Amino acid sequence: MLKLIKKAQKGNDRAFLELFQEYEQDLYRMAFIYVKNQNDALDVVQETAYKSFKSIKELKEPKYFKTWLMRIAISCSLDILRKRKNVVTLKPDIDEYLSGVHNEDLTSEITLKGMIDELQEDEKSVILLRFYQGMTLKEISETLNIPLGTAKTILYRGLAKLREDLKGDEAYEQ
């Protein structure tokens, strides 16, 4: 993988394409959770591809390629949300919303996604990177360019909010 990244940094288009395709689905899922519709999520992936292709030579640590791509995708997602000037709560196609998530309790999954959507942007980012992308807190702090302690604080604050929301949920109490 590192050889492929170094080839891409030297201008090898095929190496870059192969690398990008490796993470394309992860980028799409992350973008979709932010922007909540297929077209905008695809725009985010496309913009991420463009920006990463243009600036791959600036990537200092090839081992953080995925982290670097995620940071670009989150930035592009937030740009789209800013352009909209507000967060639109659309009812996306359930199958697409849950793509890649294997959970037998569909109702709980939908409830959890709804609660995550209600979190502040920083809390949402940290929780999604931690639990949906499997990143460590150190990787999250590097991806979001925040101190490790701040990443921990945001994670625990977000989890506390989710727990509180779950306690108030009737389905949780049954």
pLDDT single digits (tens) 58-105: 888 888 888 899 889 988 988 888 787 544 443 444 444 444 444 445
Percent with pLDDT over 90 in the chain? 26
CATH number at residue 39: 1.10.1740.10
The pLDDT value given to residue 98: 45
DSSP class of residue 63?
Answer: G
pLDDT over threshold 70, residue 135: yes
As a whole number, mean pLDDT of residues 155-164 equals 88
Q: What is the pLDDT of residues 136-152, one digit of tens each?
A: 888 888 888 889 999 99
pLDDT band at 3 (very low <50, low <70, confident <90, very high): confident
Residues 91 and 109 in one domain: no
Give how many domains the chain has, as a whole number. 2
Give helix 137-144 / helix 148-168 axis angle, nearest 10°.
110
Q: Residue written as tokens 């989710």?
A: 162
CA–CA dist 89, 73 (Å, integer): 20
The pLDDT value given to residue 169: 57
Residues 116 and 172 in one domain: yes
pLDDT over threshold 50, residue 124: yes
- Which residues form the domain of 76? 1-100
Residues 142 and 111 in one domain: yes
Residues 27 and 68 in one domain: yes
The pLDDT value given to residue 27: 92
CA–CA dist 68, 2 (Å, integer): 14
Residue 118 region by backbone torsions, left for phi larger than 0, else alpha for psi between -120 and 50, else beta = alpha
pLDDT averaged over the chain?
Answer: 79
